[in-house]
Structure 1
Amino acid sequence: MHRILVINPGSTSTKSAIYEDRKCKAEQSIAHSTETLTQNPLTWQQVELRRNGILNWMQEEGFSLKDIDAFAIRGCKIKGCSKGGTYLVNDTIRNEIFGQHNLDKIAPHASRLSLPIALSMSEAERVDIPIFITDPPCVNELSDIAKISGHPFFTRESVFHALNSKAVARRVAEEWGKRYQECKFIVAHMGGGISVGAHNLGRVTEVNDCISGGGAFSPNRTGTLPVVPLVEFCFSNKHTKDEIIRIIKNNGGALAHLGTDDMREVEKRIDNGDTHAELIFNSMAYQVAKEIGSCYASLCCQVDAVIFTGGMANSKRLITEIRKYVEELGNIKVVPGEYEAEALAFGALRVLMKEEEPIII
């Protein structure tokens, strides 16, 4: 039996879980209030806060780090981590993550806290445990033809919900008694951001960049924008560079159109007769369907299933609206929610069980 500790910090919470092989024995999510985060703004303070929360929880559950065989931690953007799979954290990865952000600076994106938390726990408990990262968001398996843009100054990048997208694809393949590497899927992850990818025999050979502005707009991201008007907007001297990036990444989509990024609130407005909210909602569904169609073409119209996942896949209204456009493309599978903890644990387990070789950069 292999016991794995999952560490998945978010902007306002720290999720963790303990798996024994494929079975989750305990899991928790510690919420961090705005006040607490404001009082602990530096990276080392955030690491200490989150580390102590996990260690206290483990003690309550009757576990210690001496019971753990491996860490499975959330990944971030790391040079060289371009292939899908499970990476063994070595000095190269350590040096890049720590080299990009000093512990005495304001804490970076929560995903970059995973490794410092794991290392801090190991030091506090005086244990030496391997650390694994599975399918980080920088996985770039785009086909050569998909990387080309309309100008050599720009190359299409792959930044998407790799961890959950690949996890649900593997899950559906297992249900059918197949390996992920034997299937062709289109996976639409719909959460705060939306990424729609073509999973071609184990590789995501086409997908929109859900961070930098690509694909369908989402609850708070703009997705693809008209290029020339965007350039004119950037040079209007009305907004700074940072303000424009925030508009694209954080203040676009439904939030910009409707003043809320809570899609449950949007659906309530539709139920109450708000036709503008209905138009924006249906437009988002339409844009997701267009991305699915693009991936369908990239797979030469050979698809085993179209899979919907992420938090918004719980919306029957949204799924129904998208299905109007893609019903004929193949099997439709709805796997709502996210399976990040499971995906991280199972990735580490495949290496521990010697079913896969770890990727070392």
Structure 2
Amino acid sequence: MTAQPSPTRVLVLNSGSSSVKYQLLDMSDGSRLATGLVERIGEDSSARLKHTPLGTGEGGGESREWNGPIADHETALKAVAEQLAKDGLGLDSPELAAIGHRVVHGGKSFTEPTVVDESVLAEIERLIPVAPLHNPANLTGIRTARALRPDLPQVAVFDTAFHTTMPESAARYAIDVRTADEHRVRRYGFHGTSHAYVSRATAKLLGKAPEDVNVIVLHLGNGASASAVRGGKCVDTSMGLTPLEGLVMGTRSGDMDPAVIFHLARVGGMSIDEIDTLLNKRSGLIGLCGDNDMREIRRRIDEGDEQAQLAFDIYIHRLKKYIGAYYAVLGRVDAVAFTAGVGENAAPVRAAAVAGLEELGLTVDDGLNAVRADEARLISPAGARVAVAVVPTDEELEIATQTYALVGQ
């Protein structure tokens, strides 16, 4: 009797509060079979599903869109399953090995990808107080997918897991230990799947093994974070208990004196919720100049807009401080890698971030930096002491890779 080949496909789900992003990958070669997005879930009849088959089945790369009522995540995932089935890629396919789920917060409990069972679900739910915007949506996605395919392994891949290798000296805040432990107050870090992927991809770009390379990873999107990676393991990262700490971001303040909160409450008469909204949604670049799109900010700078210039300068100043700090943490730096929307596409940000750091071995070649490309590449001059790289992140591939490594035969 001929043995059946082992299933090699992984469906990656990223469930937000009102959206589901998804990709179907074949882990035999890492190829994408389909990708899509469901957004505005639960918003009357304004929901939208965009699905793109990538070279498999009759669809052959032509996107399909559907607009209409999608009441909840269960309805959304059923709609995704229908779209995949049209291309011969349905959830009932015997070639599907597992479903991998992005989970934002795993606390100290989850240090690696984990097959979901009731105890895992309970712990993710227990962590909701430290991730109230993300973990509930992640849980909904997992539970819905389990109901649709109860026989299939469901794997949780945690944003925080890559950062659990930080030493206590980096992870602890300098507050009363008993209070911190009681309320789980510590630095967890986020964007972990991106930092893991990019640090490994940077080592590959240098022709070295991850364990032989020290990398500063700069994940610069609307949310932004930096990490210091020594020998493939994170030893420090800029985000903390929440994604608010660290770099200047699109709408988040990043680092600031915590007494600002007391001042705004006592002197400004603001409530805790109002301050929360201010720091998370009305700060960062949008608070400084009214725009959180780096392309628009650069356009305004070119037209002589002083407010946009100041916002850019504050953004770069914070970024340089973290590069210098993580250089000191690592002691030896082999590469600085820029990734995510701004990091991959904004040449002026990359140039400004390392300008003046020549004594640290950091510089970019203007011609290489100006090139737009989809693949990982070096933008530092030949022979530079520290490589400067642009490495497109691929969180979905990272989630699929970790999922398949756990359950693949």
Structure 1 residue aligned with 2:389 = 333
- Residue number among 74, 81, 98 corresponding to 2:102 in the alignment: 74
Q: Which residue of 2 aligns with 1:283?
A: 314
Q: For residue 159 of structure 1, what is the aligned residue in structure 2? A: 189
1:61 matched residue in structure 2: 87
Alignment match, 2:407: 352
What does residue range 166-245 of structure 1 map to in structure 2 within 5 Å? 166-209=196-239, 211=242, 213-236=244-267, 238-245=269-276
Question: C-alpha separation between the residues in 2 aligned to 1:113 and 1:61?
Answer: 27
Deviation at 1:228, TM superposition (A): 3.5
1:321 shift after superposition: 0.8
CA RMSD between the two structures: 2.7
Matches within 5 A, 1:16-55: 16-21=22-27, 22-33=29-40, 37-39=42-44, 45-55=71-81
Q: Which amino acid aligns with 2:116?
A: V
Alpha-carbon contact 1:146-1:156 (below 8 Å) kept: no
2:103 aligns to what SS in structure 1?
A: coil
Looking at secondary structure, tell me which structure has more helix per residue.
1
Partners of 1:56 and 1:170 in 2: CA distance: 35
Aligned partner (choices 269, 274, 277) of residue 246 of structure 1: 277
Tell me the TM-score normalised to structure 1 length.
Answer: 0.84
SS in 2 for 1:222: coil
**Normalising to structure 2: TM-score of the pair?**
0.75
Q: CA deviation at 1:217?
A: 1.2
Which sits farther off after the overlay, 132-141 or 235-244? 132-141
Distance 1:234 1:55 in 2: 48
Q: CA deviation at 1:59?
A: 1.0
Distance 1:227 1:65, change over 3 A: closer
In structure 1, the residue matched to 2:397 is 342
2:169 matched to 1:145?
yes
1:172-194 per-position Cα deviation (integer Å, ceiling 9, x unaligned):
22334443333211101111222
In structure 2, do the counterparts of structure 1 residues 143 and 118 end up closer, same or farther at CA, with 3 Å as the change threshold? closer
Give aligned pairs, total: 340
Instruction: Answer yes or no: is the 8 Å Cα contact 2:127–2:135 preserved in 1.
Output: no
- Judged with a 3 Å threshold, the aligned counterparts in structure 2 of structure 1 residues 79 and 286 are, in CA distance, closer, same or farther, namely closer
Deviation, 1:156, is 4.4
Query: Which of the pair has more CA radius of gyration?
Result: 2
CA distance in 1, matches of 2:82, 2:168: 48
Aligned to 2:10: 4
Letter in 1 for 2:99: F
Secondary structure of the equivalent of 1:16? strand
Q: Which one is further off, 112-121 or 161-170?
A: 112-121
| 2:327 counterpart (284, 296, 317) | 296
Give the unaligned 5+ runs of structure 1.
102-107, 355-361
- Secondary structure of the structure 2 residue equivalent to 1:74: strand
Equivalent of 1:131, from 154, 160, 168? 154
Distance 1:32 1:149 in 2: 37
> How many angstroms does 1:230 deviate by?
3.7
2:118 matched residue in structure 1: 91
Shift of 1:5: 0.8
Distance 1:37 1:146, change over 3 A: same
AA partner of residue 74 (structure 2): E
> Does the 8 A contact of 1:75 with 1:112 survive in 2?
no
Q: 1:230, 1:95 → 2: CA distance?
A: 33
Code of the residue aligned with 2:285 in structure 1: it is A
Q: 1:127 to 1:91 in 2, by over 3 A?
A: closer
CA gap 1:86/1:265 in 2 versus in 1, 3 angstroms: same
- Which residue of structure 1 aligns with residue 351 of structure 2? 320
Kindly indicate whether the alpha-carbon contact (under 8 Å) linking 1:184 and 1:201 is maintained by their aligned counterparts in 2.
yes
Q: Which position in structure 2 is the counterpart of 1:306?
A: 336
Larger RCO: 1 or 2 (CA < 8 Å, sep 6+): 1
The one-character-per-residue Cα deviations of 1:161-213 (angstroms, maximum 9, x if unpaired) are 11111111112223344433332111011112221111122221111126354
Any conservation in 1 of the 2:84–2:90 contact (CA below 8 Å)?
yes
Question: 1:194–1:217: 8 Å Cα contact kept in structure 2?
Answer: yes
Matched letter for residue 325 of structure 2: S
